[in-house]
Chain A
Amino acid sequence: MIKRRVVLIAGFVTLFGGCSDFLDVNTNPNGPETVASNVYLPPMLHWLVAGSQWDGRYIGLYTQEWVSTVVNAAPATTFGRMGYDPGNDNSGQQWRDVYYTSGQNLVDMMRIAQAEERWDILGLGYIIKAWGWQQLADLHGEIIVAEAIDQTKFTFKYDTQEYAFAEVRKLLDSAVVYLSRTDGVVDAAYMARGDKIYNGDRLKWLKFAHGLRAINLGHYTNKASYDPAAVIASVDLSFVGNADDALLQFEFNSALNDARNMQGPTRANFGNYRQSAFVVDLMDGTVFGVPDPRISRMLAPSPDGGPYQGLSPNDAGIGALTPVAVARRPATPYNNATAGAGLYLFDDRARHPAMTYSQLQFIKAEAAFRMGNRTLALAAYRNAIDAHITFVNSRITDGGQAPPPITAAERAAFLAAPTVVPTEANLTLTHILSQKYIAQWAWGHNELWTDMRRVHYTDIDPATGAQYYPGFVPVTPLYAANGGKLVYRFRPRYNSEYIWNIPSLEEIGGTALDYQTKPTWIIEP
């Protein structure tokens, strides 16, 4: 009897032995915890480019690339009036992408690449980091850099824009060092698995790093420290032709929403947007005297076949237009296509640029102009326009749209027009900035907005006695909280900062209702 009881109790007690294996089921079976370094790349690269499309919808309202037709509701009443959407994450996409989409993923990728001596991927990691800070600092001014990506903290101090700009250059120094290395396991095919921008070509990324430095240095024009020679030197180390353009490809896997161009007709994000009168004026001859051959490839035609027309944010709805103008009210930027073939960058498959040869040549032209080297400035300026015409011809065939490309004759005639490409003596910053606007229209929002803010939107070009951006009329009335001031920055992302990081925000004045009108450091002298 005693023996039986002992067996019973023993059997019972045995149940509690060795449960540690049994409990070890907390590794998430739904996703890995780390992956190969090249597998981190696609979402980061995608969003670094696509994020600017999302925020660009709103920047494009500030810069009058387009206007919203829903006159009584946001974004026309908020961003459309140089304001913002309160309590909303709109205009916070790049904020999300830099801190979250790249964020810890980038840290992990760089750690793995370093351990595996994949210097090309590590170098690209430095570029992604630099690129993110450059984008965010341009948009927001003060951002969190030094304390960022730390899960042990819940509030974060903001760094100055000056600090962020310097940090970008430091990171680019490292990028250049690593991208120049060929030892270790540098492997273009391996990197190409995740890098569909340059297919793993580290030398192109090396040029990209120099290009990014040129963009960074080019923003200092209002500062005493502006160094045009350094800008030109960086441009010269960067892209040498359109083949170097950094372009995001869309896989067009129909199951994946984000694998289609968000500016394309299928995703239909621009149904309520129309091209602005300002961009039409830049291209239909109003400003440059001759019609631009790019207009028919980039902008939506008038429904009645008449002259191109754009809308102004100061039109009080369609009612303010003449009957003729109503008939010519442009279609959507994809020209009412419902799927597939849209205009220019508004096609489902149109590759979307992050940086172009043309853009860098404009930066070089401005630098050369500001240092007084008009010969160099004119050459770069002409190059820039020419390269953009080439760019347009490529983009309008990305999705197989195959409209007639800009012919050599059209190109030659346009470049020969003295109002477009003047003599050295007649070249002005107005030429450079206005043509740069066209070349960046619908994609280069961050740079475009910085350009406009550098000349306070409506500054007068002393060479012409007119605005650098001829005919640009800011919206009236402005967003009520602006207190009559134009917009100079995006507010930090609402759900990230205005809910959880308020004390730090208050230190930089971020809770002020007119914070969006406070000029960023780089704009001020």
Chain B
Amino acid sequence: MKLHRVLSVLALAMLAFPSLAVGQGTGIIRGRVTDAATGAPVLGVQVRVEGTTIGAQTGQDGTYTITGVAPGARGVTTRRVGFAPGRATVTVPDAGSATQDFALSMVAATLNEVVVTALGQTTSQRSLGTAQQSVRGAEIAETQRENFVNALQGRVAGVEVTSSSGVPGASSSITIRGVSSISGSNQPLFIIDGLPMDNKTQHTSVLASSFGGSTYSFENRGVDFTNRAADLNPEDIESLVVLKGPEAAVLYGIDAANGAIVITTKRGKAGVGGLEYNNSFRFESVGKRPEVQQVYGPSAVGSSTFLYWGAPYAAGTEFFDNIDGFFNTAKTQKHNLTFSGAAVDNRINYRLATSLTQQGGVVPHDKYSRINLTGASQAQVNSWVNVDLSMGYTYADNHQSFKGLGGPLIGLLVWPQTDQANTYLTPGGTRRRLTTLNQGLEVDNPYFNVNKNFNASKNNRIIANLGLTFTPFSWGNLKTNIGTDTYTNQTEILRHPESTFGFSNNGIIDVANDMTRSSNVQTVFNVHSRALTNSISIGALVGNAINDYKSTVDASVGRDFLEPNFVSVNNTNARTSATRISQRRLVGLFGRVSLDYKKYLYLNIDGRNDWTSTIPVERNSFFYPGVSTSFVFSDAFPAIGNFMTGKIRAAYAEVGKDARPYSYRPALEFKTTSYGGYGYGFWGPNFALSPEFAVSRELGTELTFLDNRLGIDATIYRKQTRDQIVNDIRGSYATGFILFNLNGAVTRNQGVELTLRGTPLLRDNLSWDIVANYDRSKGTVLELPNALPEAYNSDTWLFGNVRNGTAPGLSTRSLTGWFYLRNQAGDLLISPTTGLPLRASTFIDRGYDRNPDYTVGLSNTLRYKRATLSALVDIRRGGDVFNATEHFLTARGLSMRTLDRNEPRVVEGVLQDGRENTANPTRNTIVVTPAVNTDYYLSISEELFIEKDINWLRLRDITLSYALPEGRFKRASLFITGTDLLLLTNYSGMDPIVNGNTAATGGSSAQGIDYGNFPIPRGFNFGLRMGF
């Protein structure tokens, strides 16, 4: 069935029922809702008349008015996220009015809090049988991160955010509960106002320079692109809920196998409206600078690739401060303007917002700028139809320097310090060179690199979402969302003809236009909970979702520039173009039945069936169940409830997952040999491809003590993925192919999440809140397809011979490499001829694991009168980081550790002389002096640069804000925010948060592989907020 047919049937279904008159009357209920603790008015509370569809929202002053109430005794309920629900019975006179005020208690973290769950449903915390955690939009916006994903680290137990680097527009990957997929994405599904939002990071395989296995492709190493979730303006987020496991996210299906991040955007509210403006200005600088030795000069001056094994520098040699001089103080400004409001009875509300962000980088020419325009309006058309339309437009413009091998950092480090690097051009305007080497062999001067090479992308995106809620019956409603998420991303990457990377092709320019469209329709029919007996109630929902995703990338690459400085494909002699289309369609049907017994024992039973286009048709339909239960024991046993509240929950879910498009059927591709011709691509057939399944179970408890001033939320979970699809796995070429996509891996993830909330101080003018999120997770590979010995992603093999290889029994984040050979006793094997240790010539495991032992996010909020101080500290313990940059510097004689080059030493180990595994191996006694035998450092194993058990304590953000007294401006406040001001770590490199690839790389990617990567800078923000 074509999508438009689906839509038309849907439209028909919606038009099929005419306006329903739900017993309307003439009575009016009005009142005011206040905070029970402070007496302050509470806005945005949904007040409903039970058994009807009529209701209203409170405005700024906390008042509400419900008209058209049938006379008699009516039950009135209130719901507001963050507050306990309220209920009262009002007697409404005919054609008269009744008044009912409510005093609601703020119940953050308590069982009665109303929370958003899967599919945008709201429920009380007590009924949840699964783990989820929410973050307020204001808290995210307050961090002043351009990419809101970066604000989540430490704020949610189990969430790990890794930014690829510290440059503006760098991609950030987010994983919940660790790495379970060996080759596929481990990132969660993003849901915005009920529909999926694309969070793709552009993969370099869509570039024409990757076409036909060219020799000048980037392989997700040399360039990075923004993850598209960053298009969302943090100021537009009302709340964000993280559904951590398949148990919570099962209703979202396939794409939520790694959890889901459910975002609700802001809407206008009665009374609060008007014009609001806020801004932020930031200065950023590099925290830690790299260090290189200034004792020994270059060897083979002029003809080497900057090796520093030469004679000591003469006394009085002038050194230039190239490294410090290179970095800028980055300046960023942000302006947000919002205009919002609502009718007094809140039947119609609107919010229009615009935002401008201009971010500079510490590396010259790096920048990220973004314009957001959003509009959202909601209307209660009549008593049973509610319409909600939101549209957001984003323009993002990013300009990045290269990273890794061809990036400016490597050039900066190896550039002779005796040369003034910032003169990067000759008087004739061409690249100034220092060696007689071919231009492709001499490392780019960093200034030349950032001035002449670039990676630029511009993204235009529209997300539109129409939500229709019909409430034809008092006992249920039908909610349909129709939306599209469409963007065009234009990428332009220049490798200048004179640059190291561009020289052998006389310049390379890549352009790629990605038109991505994701159309979504989701319909949920909700049956409200109703009493079956005095003690048992039942509720249900059934729904479906249709997703149609298509990306078409038109890419071309031009080489051989005519005019070296004119940037256009038109300026090239040799051009190749390619179109890459990727399409996937998904249909899901799902349902849930919820039972509760006396409001303290809850049982939810979920089921979903998905039909996907990417699995062979015989197996493309698959069903999976979920069940969760919650037991509020403090209500069941009031004796306990007197001094604490508590519940335990348990959940079990399975979730299926499909393959990427076109995985199982091989296709031919154009071959770049003479006279064209077709041949198969790398991937062989696998007609037996079937969906993979994750089976997950979790057990948790939520406890509060001392009148909610202390709360604990603890979860343990175990997820096992079977029949996991491993992409791009090699076989013998005798198959006729090079790579396969195979089922057959088994991985297991288990862990503990703990959230502690406390309010040590709570006085009239002073309060102190603490939230600590603790997470310990571990992913292990149990099996690989066809008993293959190793699975790895070749993009991660980016420096020397270390890569993210894993094998049965190893962590999903292990590293394999050409590590040192050892005898059975574990001693290094030493070559009897050179006296140097011997290295494996195949990839072996030596127990290196990038998985942290645990992480802690500790946030403190201190309020005193009008001032608020909040800070988030991110702590990690354990996990290995490969400092490839340091290896690079060591092999080149630049690292400080090579200063001992003249000290003779004997490498401890045993000679490989045939006796190495006997009881009396020959101890090595061969003396080597690195200055003479430069192989000592040149061929040193990468193993010595994998830094074990890296810990850090990072002050992620700290904000001091001060609310000005009400005066000319409403709600005016000033703030200062510091980002990443402090980093304490045992890591010797610049920043242990690093990804040698980008967020586009699947599996464990190259997280923790640090090569030529810029660190996250220290930032200092200030600004103000005000309303008119």
Residues on A close to B: CB < 8 A?
Answer: 1, 4-5, 7-8, 10-12, 14-35, 39-44, 46-47, 50, 86-87, 95-96, 99-101, 103-105, 107, 144, 147-151, 153-156, 194, 196, 248-251, 253-259, 268, 271, 480, 493, 495-502
**Which residues of A sit under 8 angstroms from B579, Cβ to Cβ?**
30
Residue from the list B18, B575, B667, B734 in contact with A30, Cβ < 8 A? B667
**Which residues of B sit under 8 angstroms from A28, Cβ to Cβ?**
661-662, 665, 667
A-contacting residues, B215-266, CB 8 Å: 215
What distance in Å separates the Cβ of A524 from its nearest Cβ neighbour in chain B?
Answer: 25
Asked whether, in the complex, the Cβ of B733 is within 8 Å of the Cβ of A96, the reply is: yes
Known contacts A26-B665, A87-B818, A251-B674; A150 and B731 CB within 8 A of each other: no
- Nearest CB in chain A to that of B687: its residue: A151
Asked whether, in the complex, the Cβ of A154 is within 8 Å of the Cβ of B544, the reply is: no
Within the assembled complex, what's the spacing in Å between the Cα atoms of A382 and B2?
A: 74
Asked whether, in the complex, the Cβ of A31 is within 8 Å of the Cβ of B667, the reply is: yes
Asked whether, in the complex, the Cβ of A11 is within 8 Å of the Cβ of B678, the reply is: no
Residue from the list B546, B589, B613, B668 in contact with A25, Cβ < 8 A? B613
Asked whether, in the complex, the Cβ of A100 is within 8 Å of the Cβ of B613, the reply is: no
Within the assembled complex, what's the spacing in Å between the Cα atoms of A42 and B589?
A: 48
Known contacts A11-B9, A33-B665, A34-B668; A149 and B736 CB within 8 A of each other: yes
**Which residues of B sit under 8 angstroms from A257, Cβ to Cβ?**
214-215, 672
B523 at the binding interface (Cβ < 8 Å): yes
- Nearest CB in chain B to that of A20: its residue: B617
What distance in Å separates the Cβ of A115 from its nearest Cβ neighbour in chain B?
Answer: 18
Asked whether, in the complex, the Cβ of A42 is within 8 Å of the Cβ of B788, the reply is: no
Most chain B CB within a 10 A radius of its CB, from A15, A29, A151, A268: A15
What distance in Å separates the Cβ of A246 from its nearest Cβ neighbour in chain B?
Answer: 15
A-contacting residues, B517-563, CB 8 Å: 523, 525, 544, 546, 559-560
Within the assembled complex, what's the spacing in Å between the Cα atoms of A151 and B576?
A: 32
B452 at the binding interface (Cβ < 8 Å): no
**Which residues of B sit under 8 angstroms from A41, Cβ to Cβ?**
677
**Which residues of B sit under 8 angstroms from A496, Cβ to Cβ?**
730, 732-734
Within the assembled complex, what's the spacing in Å between the Cα atoms of A258 and B574?
A: 13
Known contacts A23-B587, A42-B676, A154-B786; A149 and B611 CB within 8 A of each other: no
Within the assembled complex, what's the spacing in Å between the Cα atoms of A219 and B786?
A: 39
What distance in Å separates the Cβ of B816 from its nearest Cβ neighbour in chain A?
Answer: 11
Within the assembled complex, what's the spacing in Å between the Cα atoms of A15 and B579?
A: 33
What distance in Å separates the Cβ of B253 from its nearest Cβ neighbour in chain A?
Answer: 14
What distance in Å separates the Cβ of B873 from its nearest Cβ neighbour in chain A?
Answer: 43
What distance in Å separates the Cβ of B517 from its nearest Cβ neighbour in chain A?
Answer: 13
Most chain A CB within a 10 A radius of its CB, from B677, B732, B740: B732
Residue from the list B678, B738, B790 in contact with A100, Cβ < 8 A? B738
Within the assembled complex, what's the spacing in Å between the Cα atoms of A19 and B842?
A: 49
Closest 10 CB pairs of A and B: A11-B13, A42-B677, A86-B841, A103-B736, A104-B736, A251-B674, A99-B733, A28-B667, A496-B733, A46-B673
Asked whether, in the complex, the Cβ of A194 is within 8 Å of the Cβ of B675, the reply is: yes
Known contacts A86-B841, A96-B733, A153-B735; A23 and B667 CB within 8 A of each other: no
Asked whether, in the complex, the Cβ of A258 is within 8 Å of the Cβ of B732, the reply is: no
What distance in Å separates the Cβ of B908 from its nearest Cβ neighbour in chain A?
Answer: 23
- Nearest CB in chain B to that of A100: its residue: B733
Residue from the list A12, A14, A31, A251 in contact with B668, Cβ < 8 A? A31
- Nearest CB in chain B to that of A496: its residue: B733
Asked whether, in the complex, the Cβ of A87 is within 8 Å of the Cβ of B841, the reply is: yes
Residues on B close to A: CB < 8 A?
Answer: 1-3, 6, 9-10, 12-14, 16-18, 20, 214-215, 438, 472-473, 478, 504, 523, 525, 544, 546, 559-560, 573-576, 579-581, 583-585, 587, 589, 611-614, 617, 620, 661-662, 665-681, 684-686, 730-738, 740, 786, 788-790, 801, 818, 833, 841-843
Other A-B contacts than A40-B678, A87-B818, A251-B674, 13 sampled, CB-CB below 8 A, are: A4-B17, A4-B20, A19-B587, A26-B613, A30-B669, A32-B668, A39-B678, A43-B677, A105-B678, A154-B788, A194-B677, A496-B732, A500-B789
Number of A-B contacts (CB under 8 A): 248
Asked whether, in the complex, the Cβ of A23 is within 8 Å of the Cβ of B736, the reply is: no
**Which residues of A sit under 8 angstroms from B732, Cβ to Cβ?**
144, 154-156, 496-497, 500-501
Known contacts A100-B736, A151-B736; A11 and B788 CB within 8 A of each other: no
Asked whether, in the complex, the Cβ of B585 is within 8 Å of the Cβ of A23, the reply is: yes
- Nearest CB in chain A to that of B584: its residue: A25
Known contacts A28-B667, A30-B580, A30-B669; A8 and B735 CB within 8 A of each other: no
**Which residues of B sit under 8 angstroms from A153, Cβ to Cβ?**
734-735
Asked whether, in the complex, the Cβ of B680 is within 8 Å of the Cβ of A22, the reply is: no
Known contacts A40-B678, A43-B679, A255-B574; A151 and B786 CB within 8 A of each other: no
**Which residues of A sit under 8 angstroms from B2, Cβ to Cβ?**
21-22
Within the assembled complex, what's the spacing in Å between the Cα atoms of A150 and B685?
A: 10
**Which residues of A sit under 8 angstroms from B617, Cβ to Cβ?**
20, 23-24
Asked whether, in the complex, the Cβ of A495 is within 8 Å of the Cβ of B730, the reply is: yes
Known contacts A30-B581, A31-B669, A87-B801; A12 and B678 CB within 8 A of each other: no
Most chain A CB within a 10 A radius of its CB, from B573, B666, B686: B666
Asked whether, in the complex, the Cβ of B735 is within 8 Å of the Cβ of A14, the reply is: no
Residue from the list B583, B679, B734, B842 in contact with A87, Cβ < 8 A? B842
**Which residues of B sit under 8 angstroms from A87, Cβ to Cβ?**
801, 818, 841-843
Asked whether, in the complex, the Cβ of B671 is within 8 Å of the Cβ of A42, the reply is: yes
- Nearest CB in chain B to that of A157: its residue: B734
Within the assembled complex, what's the spacing in Å between the Cα atoms of A194 and B674?
A: 10
Within the assembled complex, what's the spacing in Å between the Cα atoms of A46 and B674?
A: 7
Asked whether, in the complex, the Cβ of B737 is within 8 Å of the Cβ of A32, the reply is: no
**Which residues of A sit under 8 angstroms from B614, Cβ to Cβ?**
26
Within the assembled complex, what's the spacing in Å between the Cα atoms of A12 and B478?
A: 10
Within the assembled complex, what's the spacing in Å between the Cα atoms of A39 and B818?
A: 42
Residue from the list B523, B676, B681, B789 in contact with A12, Cβ < 8 A? B523
Within the assembled complex, what's the spacing in Å between the Cα atoms of A342 and B673?
A: 21
Asked whether, in the complex, the Cβ of B680 is within 8 Å of the Cβ of A103, the reply is: yes
**Which residues of A sit under 8 angstroms from B684, Cβ to Cβ?**
104, 151
Asked whether, in the complex, the Cβ of A148 is within 8 Å of the Cβ of B734, the reply is: yes
**Which residues of B sit under 8 angstroms from A95, Cβ to Cβ?**
733
Most chain A CB within a 10 A radius of its CB, from B18, B560, B580, B733: B733
**Which residues of A sit under 8 angstroms from B735, Cβ to Cβ?**
99, 149-151, 153-154
Asked whether, in the complex, the Cβ of A256 is within 8 Å of the Cβ of B672, the reply is: yes
Within the assembled complex, what's the spacing in Å between the Cα atoms of A44 and B680?
A: 11
Most chain B CB within a 10 A radius of its CB, from A44, A50, A500: A500
Asked whether, in the complex, the Cβ of B215 is within 8 Å of the Cβ of A7, the reply is: no
Within the assembled complex, what's the spacing in Å between the Cα atoms of A499 and B579?
A: 33
